[in-house]
Structure formats: C-alpha cells, structure tokens
Amino acid sequence: MEYRRLGKSGLKVSALSFGAWVTFGNQLDVDQALAIMAAAYDRGCNFFDNAEVYARGRAETIMGEALQKSGWRRDSYMVSSKVFGGAIDNPSPIQRGLSRKHIYEAAYQAIERLQCDYLDLYFCHRPDPDVPIEEVVRAMTELIYRGDVLYWGTSEWSAQEIMEAYAIARQYNLIPPTMEQPQYNMFVRYRFENEYARLYHHDTVGMGTTIWSPLASGLLTGKYNDGIPEDSRMNLPGYEWLKDLLMSEEGRARLAKVKELATIAEGLNTSMPKLAIAWCLKNQNVSTVITGASKASQVVENFEAIDLIDQLTDDVMETIEGILDNKRDRLVDAS
C-alpha cells in the first residue's frame, strides 16, 4: 500500500480506502460488512468513509458494529462522516443542512452510531446556500477544539466556496478545511483537474482529496457493456437516476468508450476496474481513492490497482486520452 499526505496536513492516508455508500444498510449485514472491510484493512487500508445520509444512518451503525467486532486498534484506522442530508426520512429544516445546530448534532449522532470517541474526518456533504460559510467554519473549528473531530473538509463544494472558507478561517484565526471529497473518474474530471487546480498548491490551500466514484457508478467496470445485471445497484430503489443515465445518449457514448478502454486493459493483462482506479491514482493530487464493494473478491481486485500505476506510461496515458477525448483545452497546470 502507498500512503499519501492528506494535502498539507501531517495525516497519511492509504492511497486506496473503502466507503460504505450503496452497500452498507442496503445489501450487507454486519458480518458481511466486516469481511469486506477486513479484506481492505489487511491490504493496508486505513480509512473507512461514511455519511449520515447513507441508508439514513444505518450504514454508520453497521460499520460501527463491524469495527467493534474487528478487534482492530482505534489508532490503526480512520473513520469519517458527512453532514448535510440528515439521518432520518423527511428531516425537518433543523435536522439537515449546515447550521451550527445540525453540524453539532450530526457529529455526535455519527460518533454514537460508529461507536467511536471521535471522527477522524468530518465533511460538509454539500454546500448550504442558506447558511453563512463563517457559521460552518466556526462550528467545525469548535468541534476540533473539543476533540470530537480531528480534520474537517468539504464535498462537492466549488473552488470559490472552499477559498471563502479558507479566507474566513485565516481572517478569524479559525481552522480551515483540510480536504475535499469530489467525484473523479475518467468521465468526470473537469472540476478536479481544472477548477480545483490552484487549491492543491501549498502556498494557497494545500487541499487534500478523498475522491469518490472512481468507477463512474460501475460503468467503468465493463459490467454494463451487455446490459444491466440483475444484482446491479441500478435495480435498487432510489437508483433509477443511474439507469436513466445509462440509457441516455451520454450513457451510450460512455459505454462505447468503455469497450475501447477494455482493449487497453487487455493489453496490460489487467481488468477494467483496476485500470480505472489506477488512472485516478496516477494523479498525485489524489490523496486517496474511495472504493466500494459488495464482495471481498471485489476488494481484492480493486486493491491490486496500486500495482498497475507504473504500467500507465506516458504512451498508455496518451492512448487513454485519445479514447476519452474529454480533457479540456483550458485545463490549468496544477503541478
């Protein structure tokens, strides 16, 4: 396993991590969850990602019970939660969003569900236009001063919003966000590579990243090339949007590119999931790639992507770019 600094913080996070979105609370019980988490942990994973809204809190409950059964030392792994959507069906206005009240209560509820004394990482799951960013920064700073959170960050915030939070923290001697959790994969890359480019520099924010959906919700596994499998997440309640995307003109165009990319994977004697994950890891602005799985065998395969990075030579990357054809001309150099 490779370990990367989370931005300019002193925290070292495994380049490959594991997240509970989709599977925990929907497809897996505690013992199944522990088996999958153990497969990741045994391969060097030290970060497990979660959120209050995943299965309306059930995902955190399952992860917490699995961690208790694991017997692992608390100082050998990190857990996260994310605040915004609420952990109950039809939350009231004070049971969701980024008000100081909800940020506090969601943190302590997550700590209780995860059965831990503190959260290593705590994310604002989305920006909240109804709450001043100064209120968010102050609430997160107070939680860190209390010892209930170690690092705080954002997820799917714009570069402007992140810079505003950073500026407020510096102006009032508060703690700025350490990391952002954006979607990043072969098909969704503009924000990560362009909009955020200046935020990675240590003389600006020095932002770390915990990227999600490296397989583009399964499209980059190749499993949808010949239709939708019965056990696919697309057949789960609440994921109709994913099926609609697959059936759209854009979705069909992406599937065509996956079939072309599969020839590159075959030439490297690897699989599409490993190629897609290694492509994300190739970008050094990625602190960690959050992977997901419903089977331990999928974890084993995904984590083998770390060994593929060196095979992604300049020539291979150029061939991939030729297939994707989605690298914007106005891309900013973030080196």
> Is 54 among the catalytic positions?
yes
Quote the tokens at residue 199: 């935020």
33 near 3, Cβ under 8 Å?
A: no
Give 253 or 9, the one with higher predicted confidence: 9
Say which DSSP state 186 is in. S
Q: Please report the pLDDT score of residue 225 as a whole number.
A: 67
Looking at the predicted structure, is the pLDDT value of residue 331 above 50? no
pLDDT in tens, 76-126: 999 999 999 999 999 999 999 999 999 999 999 999 999 999 999 999 999
Residues 4-44: tens digit of each pLDDT: 999 999 999 999 999 999 888 778 899 999 999 999 999 99
Range 238-261 average pLDDT? 80
Q: Is the pLDDT score of 335 beyond 70?
A: no
**How far is the C-alpha of 118 from the C-alpha of 147, rounded, in Å?**
7
**Residue 218: pLDDT band with limits 50, 70, 90:** confident
Write down the pLDDT at residue 242. 67
Name the active-site residue from 54, 196, 200, 224.
54
Half-sphere exposure of 220 (CA within 13 A, CB side): 25
pTM: 0.92
pLDDT tens-place string over residues 286-310:
999 999 999 999 999 999 999 999 9
Domain spans of the chain, in order of start: 3-218+280-309
pLDDT per residue as tens digits for the range 314-324: 999 999 999 99
Dihedral angle at the C-alpha atoms of 122, 134, 4, 114, nearest 10 degrees? 0
What is the reported pLDDT for 23? 85
- Indicate if the pLDDT at residue 330 is higher than 90: no
Residue 253: per-residue pLDDT: 87
Q: How many CB atoms lie within 10 A of CB 50?
A: 29
Report d(CA 17, CA 303) in Å as an integer. Answer: 9
Average pLDDT, the chain: 93
For the cut 70, the answer to whether the pLDDT of residue 333 exceeds it is no
CATH for 3-218+280-309 is: 3.20.20.100
